[in-house]
Amino acid sequence: MKEAMLYEKLEGTDVKCHLCAHNCLIHNNHRGICAVRENRDGTLYSLVYGKVISMNIDPIEKKPLFHFLPGSTSFSIATVGCNFHCKHCQNYEISQYPRERKFSIPGSDMSPEDIVNTALKYNCESISYTYTEPTIFFEFAYDCAKLAHEKGMKNVFVSNGYTGQEATRLISPYLHGNNIDLKGSDKFYKEICGAKLNPVKETIKLMKELGVWVEVTTLVIPDHNDSEKDLTDIAEFIRSVDHSIPWHVTQFYPTYKLNDKPRTPVEKLRQAREIGFKAGLKYVYEGNVPGEGGENTYCPSCKGILIKRFGYTIQENNIKDGKCPKCNTNIEGVWAA
Render pLDDT for 56-87 as a digit per residue (tens, 0 to 9): 999 999 999 999 999 999 999 999 999 999 99
Asked if the structure places residue 152 within a domain, the reply is yes
The count of structural domains within the chain is: 2
Q: What is the rounded CA–CA span in Å between residue 324 and residue 319?
A: 6
Q: Do 42 and 186 lie in a common domain?
A: no
Q: Do 206 and 61 lie in a common domain?
A: yes
Query: Given this model, what pLDDT does residue 337 score?
Result: 80
Segments forming the whole domain that contains residue 77: 51-317
CA nearest to 120, candidates 148, 162, 82, 93 = 148
Does residue 102 carry a pLDDT above 80?
no
What letter would DSSP give residue 296? -
pTM of structure: 0.97
Q: Do 281 and 233 lie in a common domain?
A: yes
Asked if the structure places residue 150 within a domain, the reply is yes
Asked if the structure places residue 323 within a domain, the reply is no
Q: How confident is the model at residue 100 (pLDDT cuts 50, 70, 90)?
A: confident
- State which amino acid sits at residue 334: V
Q: Do 237 and 129 lie in a common domain?
A: yes
Q: Do 230 and 283 lie in a common domain?
A: yes
CA nearest to 286, candidates 301, 305, 264 = 264
Query: What is the pairing mode between strands 15-17 and 25-26?
Result: antiparallel
Q: How confident is the model at residue 104 (pLDDT cuts 50, 70, 90)?
A: confident
Q: What is the rounded CA–CA span in Å between residue 262 and residue 7?
A: 42
Q: What is the mean pLDDT of the chain?
A: 97
Q: What is the rounded CA–CA span in Å between residue 94 and residue 248?
A: 23
- From residue 290, how far is each of 140, 295, 317 by CA, in Å? 34, 7, 17
Q: How confident is the model at residue 1 (pLDDT cuts 50, 70, 90)?
A: confident
- From residue 148, how far is each of 25, 139, 151, 153 by CA, in Å? 33, 14, 5, 5
CB atoms within 10 A of CB 113: 11
CA nearest to 24, candidates 11, 40, 37, 12 = 37
Asked if the structure places residue 327 within a domain, the reply is no
Cα-based torsion angle of the residue sequence 291, 93, 81, 161 in order, rounded to the nearest 10 degrees: 20
Q: Do 153 and 204 lie in a common domain?
A: yes
Query: Given this model, what pLDDT does residue 3 score?
Result: 98
**89 and 256 in contact (C-beta within 8 Å)?**
yes
Query: Given this model, what pLDDT does residue 101 score?
Result: 84
Cα-based torsion angle of the residue sequence 256, 260, 262, 267 in order, rounded to the nearest 10 degrees: -110
Q: Do 62 and 37 lie in a common domain?
A: no
- Kindly state the average pLDDT of the residues 220-233: 98
